[in-house]
Amino acid sequence: MEIKKIEQDFSVCKVTDYSSVNLDDEYVFVGKTDEEKSLVCITDNVPENVIERDDGWKAFRIQGVLKFSLIGILSKISGLLAENKIGIFAVSTFNTDYILTKKENFEKALSVLKDAGYKIIG
């Protein structure tokens, strides 16, 4: 399985609303519940209406389109990283999963995954 590094820096945010979010940006993940409105975006593109933000994230994705019938892919990756004391913030899309780690753990995370047999690209 291939892991694709993403070069941008990311921020995880809580926003008042999505009116200032540019949905045409390359990476924008929004999540809304009855309790909050969340946003994950490239750090340089964080909107002004942020209530809280946590900067310093890097990301990679599981390359390719994952069928819904596949089981345990994110679980295996998160387990390997947890065993190595690397926390994650995961975002799933229709096609695949994106895993964010803090910058200081990013290269270690990729190394752990490479040692486990994943091919790192990008």
Kindly list the structural domains of the chain, giving each domain's residue range(s) and its CATH number in brackets, ordered by start: 2-121 (3.30.2130.10)
pLDDT tens-place string over residues 35-49: 999 999 999 999 999
**Mean pLDDT for the chain overall:** 93
Question: Alpha helices of 1-122 — where are they, by DSSP H?
Answer: 73-83, 103-115
Structure tokens at 89: 């913030």
- pLDDT of 30 higher than 90: yes
Q: Would you give the distance in Å from CA 88 to the centre of its chain?
A: 8
* pTM, two decimal places: 0.90
* 38 vs 53: CA distance, rounded Å: 10
Mean pLDDT for 98-119 is 97
Which pLDDT score is estimated for 66? 60
pLDDT tens-place string over residues 66-89: 655 556 688 899 999 999 999 999
First-last CA distance in the chain: 14
Mean pLDDT for 9-25 is 95
Task: Give the three-class secondary structure for 43.
Answer: helix
